[in-house]
Amino acid sequence: MISVKNLYHSYNKDGKYQVKDVSFEVANGEVFGFLGPSGAGKSTALNILTGLLPLQQGEVVVGGYDLKKVSNERFNKIGMSFEQSNVYSKLTAKENLDFYRKLFDVPTLDSHTLLKLVGLEGKEHVKAGEFSKGMKHRLTFARSMINNPEMWFLDEPTTGLDPSIAADIKDIIKEKNKEGVTVFLTTHNMFIADELCDRVAFIVDGEIKLIDSPKNLKLQYGDKLVEVEYIEKGEVIKTTLSTVLPEDKRELQKIIEHHDIQTMHTKEATLEEIFIKVTGRGLV
């Protein structure tokens, strides 16, 4: 279980916070996601939870370990895949994993099995320095599960990967979750959030704006969007409006009264559209 209460973080300790009053809980076996645009503070929050960044203010308990108390033992239970791959470029894929295995006190997965899992079979003896970006990322990802973590932290697990590799990685995450692993991930990709997460937190400028399951969010916002195409000064304009929000309702009325409507239909909102509605910001 992960429990975070009133978490704040300021890199320069200058009164400007990159993470502001963040509170949430992740149940065991849940997949929880931070969805937000670049610079929102997703990695910052995640790095505090893993212990890469010091805990400045707030209360954080990860897998039963209070982060205020130092304990290296807890790293046996957590795994982290980094946003930017970080492996020894002078060592081969297998040497990288073999070395990392020796640093844990718990049973670890065999390097060969792991490499096979992420599609690096046959590349065991190639130096990581000669890997492509995607291959390095897969090696970094493979390394994060070496100690069979109970808590698995994934910072942008699929960003920048080609679609088929991204699909493989999504499958692995689902599989591990089925085995009972608790997953905390960050992403600015609404499809990932939608497909993988039991619950998502919308985060903008270091603050959580909302936490709910993708399903609930769509139920709440989904049927209540209309997509309108109309003609204004000879140009076709396309817009999406809510049938719930007062200003959107007024806008819709105006369009119907003053313009030629070309098409108009209700549609299921994507997570991104909901994000924009809720936070007033896009995901990029």
Ligand X SMILES: Nc1ncnc2c1ncn2[C@@H]1O[C@H](COP(=O)(O)OP(=O)(O)OP(=O)(O)O)[C@@H](O)[C@H]1O
Q: CB-wise, 89 or 113, nearer to other proteins? A: 89
Write down the residue that tokens 């946003």 correspond to: 83
Report if residue 140 touches Mg ion, rule: CB under 5 A.
Answer: no
Q: CB-wise, 40 or 87, nearer to Mg ion? A: 40
**Interaction partner, residue 100 (ligand X, Mg ion, other proteins, none; CB < 5-8 Å by kind):** other proteins
Given candidates 7, 34, 40, 43, which one binds Mg ion under the rule CB under 5 A? 43
Write down the residue that tokens 């509170």 correspond to: 23
Q: Strand 225-232's sheet: what is its strand order? A: 235-242, 225-232, 260-267
Q: Are 52 and 237 in contact (CB under 8 A)?
A: no
Q: Which two tokens stand for residue 12?
A: 């320069």
Q: Which of 80, 87, 174, 103 is nearest to 139 (CA)?
A: 87
Interacting residue ranges for ligand X, rule: CB under 6 A: 11, 18, 36, 38-44, 83, 188
Closest separation in Å from C-beta 204 to Mg ion: 14
Report if residue 111 touches Mg ion, rule: CB under 5 A.
Answer: no
Interacting residue ranges for other proteins, rule: CB under 8 A: 50-52, 54, 72-76, 78, 80, 82, 84, 86-91, 95, 99-100, 102-105, 143
Closest separation in Å from C-beta 283 to Mg ion: 13
Distance CA 208, CA 40 (A): 10
Closest separation in Å from C-beta 159 to Mg ion: 9
Site for Mg ion in 244-263 (CB under 5 A): none
Distance CA 130, CA 87 (A): 11
Closest separation in Å from C-beta 241 to other proteins: 45
Closest separation in Å from C-beta 22 to ligand X: 11
Q: Are 203 and 36 in contact (CB under 8 A)?
A: yes
**Interaction partner, residue 78 (other proteins, ligand X, Mg ion, none; CB < 5-8 Å by kind):** other proteins
**Interaction partner, residue 40 (ligand X, Mg ion, other proteins, none; CB < 5-8 Å by kind):** ligand X
Distances (CA, A) of 148 to 3, 56, 145, 182: 21, 29, 5, 11
Closest separation in Å from C-beta 223 to other proteins: 44
Instruction: Tell me how far the alpha carbon of residue 268 is from its chain's centroid.
Output: 22
Phi, psi of 140 (to 5 degrees): -60, -40
Residue 53 class from Cβ within 10 Å (0-12 exposed, 13-18 middle, 19+ buried)? middle
**Interaction partner, residue 121 (other proteins, ligand X, Mg ion, none; CB < 5-8 Å by kind):** none
Chain residues in the site for Mg ion (CB under 5 A): 43, 83
